[in-house]
Chains A and B, each alone.
Chain A
Amino acid sequence: MSGQTAVILAALITVALPILAAAILAGGDKTRLLYALLGAATFLVFEYLLRFPLLSLLSNESLSFILFSQTQPVLYPLALSLSAALFEEGGRYLALRFLVRRRAFEDGVAFGIGFGGVESIALVGLPLLSVLITKEDVSGAMVLISAAERVFTMVVHIAFSVMVLRGVEKKRVWEILAAFALHTVFNFIALALQVAGYPVYVSELFILGFMFFMLGYILYVRINILGHAEKGDAA
Protein backbone atom coordinates (compact mmCIF):
# COMPACT_ATOMS: atom_id res chain seq x y z
CA MET A 1 0.00 0.00 0.00
CA SER A 2 1.40 3.41 -0.97
CA GLY A 3 2.06 6.07 1.65
CA GLN A 4 -0.73 8.34 0.36
CA THR A 5 -3.31 5.50 0.33
CA ALA A 6 -2.33 4.65 3.90
CA VAL A 7 -2.71 8.32 4.88
CA ILE A 8 -6.22 8.48 3.36
CA LEU A 9 -7.24 5.25 5.12
CA ALA A 10 -5.73 6.38 8.43
CA ALA A 11 -7.36 9.82 8.15
CA LEU A 12 -10.73 8.11 7.59
CA ILE A 13 -10.18 5.85 10.61
CA THR A 14 -9.05 8.63 12.94
CA VAL A 15 -11.51 11.34 11.84
CA ALA A 16 -14.60 9.64 10.42
CA LEU A 17 -14.75 6.62 12.75
CA PRO A 18 -15.25 8.54 16.04
CA ILE A 19 -17.80 10.88 14.43
CA LEU A 20 -19.67 7.93 12.93
CA ALA A 21 -19.51 5.96 16.20
CA ALA A 22 -20.94 8.91 18.17
CA ALA A 23 -23.69 9.48 15.59
CA ILE A 24 -24.71 5.80 15.50
CA LEU A 25 -24.70 5.46 19.30
CA ALA A 26 -26.69 8.65 19.76
CA GLY A 27 -29.25 7.76 17.09
CA GLY A 28 -31.87 10.45 17.53
CA ASP A 29 -30.96 11.02 21.18
CA LYS A 30 -29.76 14.63 21.37
CA THR A 31 -28.70 14.33 25.02
CA ARG A 32 -26.39 11.43 24.21
CA LEU A 33 -24.89 13.37 21.31
CA LEU A 34 -24.40 16.29 23.69
CA TYR A 35 -22.52 13.98 26.09
CA ALA A 36 -20.22 12.89 23.25
CA LEU A 37 -19.52 16.57 22.53
CA LEU A 38 -19.00 17.17 26.25
CA GLY A 39 -16.43 14.35 26.29
CA ALA A 40 -14.64 16.03 23.39
CA ALA A 41 -14.75 19.42 25.13
CA THR A 42 -13.42 17.88 28.37
CA PHE A 43 -10.39 16.46 26.54
CA LEU A 44 -9.73 19.76 24.77
CA VAL A 45 -10.00 21.83 27.95
CA PHE A 46 -7.98 19.58 30.25
CA GLU A 47 -5.28 18.61 27.73
CA TYR A 48 -5.03 21.42 25.17
CA LEU A 49 -5.93 24.36 27.42
CA LEU A 50 -4.37 23.15 30.67
CA ARG A 51 -1.89 20.26 30.60
CA PHE A 52 -0.09 20.86 27.29
CA PRO A 53 0.50 24.59 28.00
CA LEU A 54 1.69 23.74 31.52
CA LEU A 55 4.15 21.15 30.24
CA SER A 56 5.28 23.55 27.55
CA LEU A 57 5.76 26.31 30.16
CA LEU A 58 7.83 23.93 32.29
CA SER A 59 9.95 22.62 29.45
CA ASN A 60 10.62 26.13 28.15
CA GLU A 61 11.14 28.00 31.42
CA SER A 62 12.26 25.56 34.09
CA LEU A 63 15.86 24.37 33.73
CA SER A 64 15.25 21.94 36.61
CA PHE A 65 12.44 20.35 34.61
CA ILE A 66 14.64 20.15 31.48
CA LEU A 67 17.45 18.48 33.45
CA PHE A 68 14.91 16.22 35.17
CA SER A 69 13.66 15.08 31.75
CA GLN A 70 17.23 14.36 30.64
CA THR A 71 18.42 12.49 33.70
CA GLN A 72 15.41 10.57 34.99
CA PRO A 73 14.50 7.85 32.46
CA VAL A 74 12.01 6.29 34.88
CA LEU A 75 10.72 9.22 36.95
CA TYR A 76 10.20 11.51 33.94
CA PRO A 77 7.82 9.13 32.08
CA LEU A 78 6.17 8.46 35.43
CA ALA A 79 5.65 12.20 36.04
CA LEU A 80 4.20 12.59 32.52
CA SER A 81 1.90 9.61 33.03
CA LEU A 82 0.75 10.85 36.43
CA SER A 83 0.00 14.30 35.02
CA ALA A 84 -1.96 12.81 32.09
CA ALA A 85 -4.01 10.64 34.45
CA LEU A 86 -4.56 13.54 36.86
CA PHE A 87 -5.75 15.98 34.21
CA GLU A 88 -7.75 13.51 32.09
CA GLU A 89 -9.40 11.55 34.90
CA GLY A 90 -9.81 14.74 36.94
CA GLY A 91 -11.50 16.41 33.98
CA ARG A 92 -13.65 13.36 33.33
CA TYR A 93 -14.72 13.26 36.98
CA LEU A 94 -15.62 16.97 37.09
CA ALA A 95 -17.59 16.78 33.82
CA LEU A 96 -19.43 13.57 34.69
CA ARG A 97 -20.09 14.69 38.29
CA PHE A 98 -21.33 18.21 37.59
CA LEU A 99 -22.46 18.38 33.95
CA VAL A 100 -23.88 14.95 33.15
CA ARG A 101 -27.32 14.49 34.66
CA ARG A 102 -28.33 11.23 32.94
CA ARG A 103 -25.87 8.48 33.78
CA ALA A 104 -26.82 5.39 31.78
CA PHE A 105 -24.10 3.02 30.51
CA GLU A 106 -24.55 4.31 26.94
CA ASP A 107 -24.10 7.89 28.14
CA GLY A 108 -20.69 6.96 29.54
CA VAL A 109 -19.83 5.25 26.25
CA ALA A 110 -20.88 8.37 24.31
CA PHE A 111 -18.75 10.57 26.60
CA GLY A 112 -15.78 8.23 26.06
CA ILE A 113 -16.21 8.24 22.27
CA GLY A 114 -16.16 12.05 22.32
CA PHE A 115 -13.15 12.16 24.64
CA GLY A 116 -11.08 9.55 22.76
CA GLY A 117 -12.45 10.61 19.38
CA VAL A 118 -11.32 14.21 19.62
CA GLU A 119 -7.91 13.00 20.83
CA SER A 120 -7.74 10.77 17.76
CA ILE A 121 -8.73 13.67 15.48
CA ALA A 122 -6.38 16.19 17.11
CA LEU A 123 -3.31 14.00 17.55
CA VAL A 124 -3.41 11.95 14.33
CA GLY A 125 -6.33 12.90 12.06
CA LEU A 126 -5.55 16.59 11.56
CA PRO A 127 -1.78 16.10 11.16
CA LEU A 128 -2.58 13.42 8.55
CA LEU A 129 -4.87 15.81 6.68
CA SER A 130 -1.98 18.27 6.50
CA VAL A 131 0.27 15.44 5.20
CA LEU A 132 -2.36 14.78 2.53
CA ILE A 133 -2.39 18.43 1.48
CA THR A 134 1.40 18.85 1.41
CA LYS A 135 1.85 15.37 -0.16
CA GLU A 136 4.68 14.73 2.28
CA ASP A 137 6.41 11.36 1.91
CA VAL A 138 5.55 9.14 4.89
CA SER A 139 5.82 5.49 5.86
CA GLY A 140 2.44 3.84 5.16
CA ALA A 141 3.00 1.20 7.83
CA MET A 142 3.76 3.79 10.54
CA VAL A 143 0.72 5.85 9.58
CA LEU A 144 -1.56 2.81 9.82
CA ILE A 145 0.00 1.78 13.15
CA SER A 146 -0.67 5.23 14.61
CA ALA A 147 -4.27 5.11 13.34
CA ALA A 148 -4.77 1.65 14.87
CA GLU A 149 -3.30 2.95 18.15
CA ARG A 150 -5.92 5.72 18.21
CA VAL A 151 -8.70 3.15 17.80
CA PHE A 152 -7.25 1.09 20.69
CA THR A 153 -6.97 4.15 22.94
CA MET A 154 -10.49 5.25 22.05
CA VAL A 155 -11.76 1.95 23.49
CA VAL A 156 -9.59 2.57 26.57
CA HIS A 157 -11.10 6.06 26.94
CA ILE A 158 -14.61 4.61 26.68
CA ALA A 159 -13.75 2.16 29.48
CA PHE A 160 -12.31 4.91 31.71
CA SER A 161 -15.41 7.03 31.08
CA VAL A 162 -17.73 4.15 32.04
CA MET A 163 -15.57 3.48 35.12
CA VAL A 164 -15.65 7.10 36.32
CA LEU A 165 -19.37 7.42 35.47
CA ARG A 166 -20.13 4.36 37.61
CA GLY A 167 -17.96 5.75 40.39
CA VAL A 168 -19.90 9.02 40.29
CA GLU A 169 -23.30 7.34 39.96
CA LYS A 170 -22.77 4.77 42.72
CA LYS A 171 -20.62 7.13 44.84
CA ARG A 172 -17.73 4.63 44.75
CA VAL A 173 -14.48 6.54 45.09
CA TRP A 174 -12.41 3.42 44.43
CA GLU A 175 -13.72 3.22 40.85
CA ILE A 176 -12.55 6.78 40.16
CA LEU A 177 -9.19 6.04 41.80
CA ALA A 178 -8.94 2.79 39.79
CA ALA A 179 -9.39 4.79 36.57
CA PHE A 180 -6.62 7.17 37.71
CA ALA A 181 -4.27 4.32 38.68
CA LEU A 182 -4.92 2.26 35.52
CA HIS A 183 -4.48 5.36 33.35
CA THR A 184 -1.11 6.09 35.01
CA VAL A 185 0.08 2.50 34.62
CA PHE A 186 -1.13 2.33 30.99
CA ASN A 187 0.63 5.54 29.96
CA PHE A 188 3.76 4.76 31.95
CA ILE A 189 4.31 1.29 30.45
CA ALA A 190 3.60 2.52 26.90
CA LEU A 191 6.03 5.44 27.37
CA ALA A 192 8.67 3.39 29.19
CA LEU A 193 8.72 0.82 26.37
CA GLN A 194 9.42 3.62 23.88
CA VAL A 195 12.05 5.29 26.10
CA ALA A 196 13.76 1.92 26.67
CA GLY A 197 14.17 1.67 22.89
CA TYR A 198 11.91 -1.30 22.20
CA PRO A 199 10.61 -1.52 18.62
CA VAL A 200 7.36 0.37 18.09
CA TYR A 201 5.33 -2.84 17.66
CA VAL A 202 6.14 -3.87 21.25
CA SER A 203 4.42 -0.81 22.74
CA GLU A 204 1.58 -1.16 20.20
CA LEU A 205 1.09 -4.79 21.25
CA PHE A 206 0.97 -3.64 24.86
CA ILE A 207 -1.67 -1.01 23.97
CA LEU A 208 -3.65 -3.67 22.07
CA GLY A 209 -3.49 -6.03 25.05
CA PHE A 210 -4.57 -3.27 27.43
CA MET A 211 -7.43 -2.40 25.08
CA PHE A 212 -8.71 -6.01 25.29
CA PHE A 213 -8.42 -5.86 29.09
CA MET A 214 -10.51 -2.67 29.18
CA LEU A 215 -12.91 -4.06 26.56
CA GLY A 216 -13.44 -6.95 28.98
CA TYR A 217 -14.35 -4.40 31.67
CA ILE A 218 -16.84 -2.66 29.35
CA LEU A 219 -18.49 -5.99 28.49
CA TYR A 220 -18.53 -7.01 32.16
CA VAL A 221 -20.35 -3.80 33.09
CA ARG A 222 -22.77 -4.17 30.16
CA ILE A 223 -23.59 -7.80 31.00
CA ASN A 224 -23.92 -6.91 34.68
CA ILE A 225 -26.41 -4.14 33.84
CA LEU A 226 -28.40 -6.47 31.54
CA GLY A 227 -28.42 -9.13 34.27
CA HIS A 228 -29.81 -6.68 36.82
CA ALA A 229 -32.44 -5.48 34.32
CA GLU A 230 -33.57 -9.07 33.65
CA LYS A 231 -33.77 -9.80 37.39
CA GLY A 232 -35.84 -6.63 37.76
CA ASP A 233 -38.17 -7.73 34.94
CA ALA A 234 -38.56 -11.22 36.46
CA ALA A 235 -39.42 -9.75 39.86
Chain B
Amino acid sequence: MKKAAAALLCAAVLLTAACSPQAFEFDEDAAVAAAKDVIDLVYMLDFDAVCALFREDVREMVSAEALGAAVAPILDGAGRFVEYTKAKAVAYNDKQYGEIIIVAVQAKYENEKLTYTVSLGRDFSLVGLYIK
Protein backbone atom coordinates (compact mmCIF):
# COMPACT_ATOMS: atom_id res chain seq x y z
CA MET B 1 0.00 0.00 0.00
CA LYS B 2 2.77 2.42 1.07
CA LYS B 3 4.91 1.42 -1.91
CA ALA B 4 1.97 1.82 -4.30
CA ALA B 5 1.26 5.31 -2.95
CA ALA B 6 4.97 6.20 -3.15
CA ALA B 7 5.10 4.94 -6.72
CA LEU B 8 2.02 7.01 -7.59
CA LEU B 9 3.51 10.14 -6.02
CA CYS B 10 6.83 9.42 -7.73
CA ALA B 11 5.07 8.95 -11.07
CA ALA B 12 3.36 12.32 -10.67
CA VAL B 13 6.69 13.97 -9.86
CA LEU B 14 8.43 12.23 -12.76
CA LEU B 15 5.65 13.24 -15.12
CA THR B 16 5.95 16.86 -14.03
CA ALA B 17 9.75 16.70 -14.23
CA ALA B 18 9.56 15.04 -17.63
CA CYS B 19 7.39 17.89 -18.86
CA SER B 20 10.03 20.47 -17.89
CA PRO B 21 12.75 20.60 -20.56
CA GLN B 22 16.46 20.69 -19.62
CA ALA B 23 17.74 24.25 -19.18
CA PHE B 24 20.55 23.48 -21.67
CA GLU B 25 22.17 20.55 -23.45
CA PHE B 26 24.98 18.69 -21.68
CA ASP B 27 26.76 15.34 -21.68
CA GLU B 28 25.12 13.46 -18.80
CA ASP B 29 27.72 10.64 -18.69
CA ALA B 30 30.57 13.14 -18.50
CA ALA B 31 28.78 15.11 -15.76
CA VAL B 32 28.18 11.96 -13.72
CA ALA B 33 31.84 10.93 -14.16
CA ALA B 34 32.97 14.41 -12.98
CA ALA B 35 30.67 14.16 -9.94
CA LYS B 36 32.05 10.70 -9.09
CA ASP B 37 35.60 12.12 -9.27
CA VAL B 38 34.59 14.67 -6.62
CA ILE B 39 33.00 11.97 -4.47
CA ASP B 40 36.12 9.78 -4.76
CA LEU B 41 38.22 12.66 -3.43
CA VAL B 42 35.75 13.22 -0.61
CA TYR B 43 35.96 9.50 0.29
CA MET B 44 39.76 9.77 0.39
CA LEU B 45 39.29 12.78 2.74
CA ASP B 46 41.43 14.86 0.37
CA PHE B 47 39.61 18.12 1.08
CA ASP B 48 42.40 20.32 -0.32
CA ALA B 49 41.91 18.60 -3.68
CA VAL B 50 38.14 19.01 -3.40
CA CYS B 51 38.55 22.71 -2.67
CA ALA B 52 40.81 23.07 -5.70
CA LEU B 53 37.96 21.77 -7.88
CA PHE B 54 35.57 24.53 -6.75
CA ARG B 55 34.82 27.27 -9.25
CA GLU B 56 36.76 30.44 -8.43
CA ASP B 57 33.76 32.47 -7.20
CA VAL B 58 32.71 29.64 -4.87
CA ARG B 59 36.22 28.67 -3.70
CA GLU B 60 36.60 31.82 -1.60
CA MET B 61 33.53 30.79 0.40
CA VAL B 62 34.77 27.31 1.39
CA SER B 63 37.84 25.99 3.17
CA ALA B 64 39.31 22.49 3.36
CA GLU B 65 39.04 22.62 7.17
CA ALA B 66 35.36 23.55 7.19
CA LEU B 67 34.60 20.96 4.52
CA GLY B 68 36.47 18.28 6.47
CA ALA B 69 34.70 19.16 9.72
CA ALA B 70 31.31 18.83 8.03
CA VAL B 71 31.95 15.76 5.90
CA ALA B 72 34.42 13.54 7.80
CA PRO B 73 31.94 12.53 10.57
CA ILE B 74 29.41 11.40 7.94
CA LEU B 75 31.98 9.24 6.15
CA ASP B 76 33.33 7.85 9.43
CA GLY B 77 29.93 6.35 10.18
CA ALA B 78 29.35 5.11 6.64
CA GLY B 79 32.30 2.69 6.55
CA ARG B 80 34.07 1.25 3.49
CA PHE B 81 32.88 2.26 0.01
CA VAL B 82 31.15 -0.60 -1.84
CA GLU B 83 29.73 0.77 -5.12
CA TYR B 84 27.82 3.52 -6.85
CA THR B 85 24.24 2.35 -7.20
CA LYS B 86 22.61 5.04 -9.33
CA ALA B 87 23.16 8.51 -10.73
CA LYS B 88 21.16 11.14 -12.57
CA ALA B 89 21.85 14.69 -13.76
CA VAL B 90 19.83 17.72 -14.82
CA ALA B 91 20.71 21.12 -16.25
CA TYR B 92 19.45 24.11 -14.30
CA ASN B 93 19.58 27.90 -14.54
CA ASP B 94 20.34 29.08 -11.02
CA LYS B 95 19.74 32.72 -10.07
CA GLN B 96 22.95 32.87 -8.02
CA TYR B 97 25.32 30.48 -9.81
CA GLY B 98 24.12 30.72 -13.41
CA GLU B 99 23.97 27.65 -15.67
CA ILE B 100 24.76 24.59 -13.59
CA ILE B 101 24.43 20.82 -13.83
CA ILE B 102 23.09 19.12 -10.72
CA VAL B 103 24.16 15.50 -10.36
CA ALA B 104 22.59 13.20 -7.78
CA VAL B 105 24.64 10.09 -7.03
CA GLN B 106 23.77 7.30 -4.64
CA ALA B 107 26.70 5.38 -3.17
CA LYS B 108 26.59 2.25 -1.09
CA TYR B 109 28.94 1.93 1.86
CA GLU B 110 29.47 -0.86 4.36
CA ASN B 111 27.08 0.61 6.94
CA GLU B 112 24.72 2.84 4.96
CA LYS B 113 23.76 4.44 1.67
CA LEU B 114 24.69 8.07 1.05
CA THR B 115 23.21 10.37 -1.56
CA TYR B 116 25.49 13.07 -2.93
CA THR B 117 24.16 16.12 -4.72
CA VAL B 118 27.02 17.64 -6.70
CA SER B 119 26.50 20.92 -8.54
CA LEU B 120 28.84 21.59 -11.43
CA GLY B 121 29.39 24.50 -13.80
CA ARG B 122 29.09 23.89 -17.55
CA ASP B 123 32.88 23.27 -17.57
CA PHE B 124 32.35 20.73 -14.72
CA SER B 125 34.00 22.99 -12.14
CA LEU B 126 32.54 22.30 -8.69
CA VAL B 127 29.84 24.71 -7.50
CA GLY B 128 28.19 22.84 -4.65
CA LEU B 129 28.31 19.62 -2.66
CA TYR B 130 25.67 18.16 -0.39
CA ILE B 131 25.69 14.78 1.31
CA LYS B 132 22.72 13.04 2.88
Interface positions of A (Cβ within 8 A of B): 50, 53-54, 57-60, 62-68, 70-72, 75, 79, 83
Contacts and interface: CB of A to CB of B under 8 A. Distances in A.
Contact of B10 (A62, A67, A75): A62
Given A54-B2, A54-B6, A67 B102 contact: yes
Contacts of B61: none
B31 to A, nearest CB: 12
Interface stretch (B39-47, B52-60, B73-81, B85-93): B85-93
B117 interface: yes
B9 A63 contact: no
B106 A68 contact: no
A60 B117 contact: no
A58 B10 CA distance: 7
30 contacts: A50-B2, A50-B5, A57-B2, A57-B6, A58-B6, A58-B13, A59-B132, A60-B113, A60-B115, A60-B132, A63-B86, A63-B104, A64-B88, A65-B10, A67-B17, A67-B88, A67-B102, A68-B16, A70-B92, A70-B102, A71-B20, A71-B90, A71-B92, A72-B16, A72-B17, A75-B16, A75-B20, A79-B12, A79-B13, A83-B9
A70 B12 CA distance: 16
B14 interface: yes
B117 A70 contact: yes
A70 B100 CA distance: 12
Interface residues of B, number: 25
Contacts of B106: 63
Interface string B11-24: 01110110010000
Given A54-B9, A58-B10, A58-B13, A63 B102 contact: no
Contacts of A57: 2, 6
Contacts of B16: 68, 72, 75, 79
B90 to A, nearest CB: 5
A71 B100 CA distance: 10
Contacts of A72: 16-17, 20
Contacts of A71: 20, 90, 92, 102
Contact of B104 (A50, A53, A67): A67
Contacts of B20: 71-72, 75
A134 B113 CA distance: 30
Given A63-B86, A79-B12, A68 B17 contact: yes
B22 to A, nearest CB: 10
Nearest to B95: A73
A95 B102 CA distance: 42
A206 B59 CA distance: 38
B13 A65 contact: yes
A94 B13 CA distance: 25
A154 B86 CA distance: 42
A53 B5 CA distance: 11
A72 B12 CA distance: 14
B23 to A, nearest CB: 8
A62 B17 CA distance: 13
A59 B10 CA distance: 10
Nearest to B8: A54
A66 B89 CA distance: 10
Interface in B26-43: none
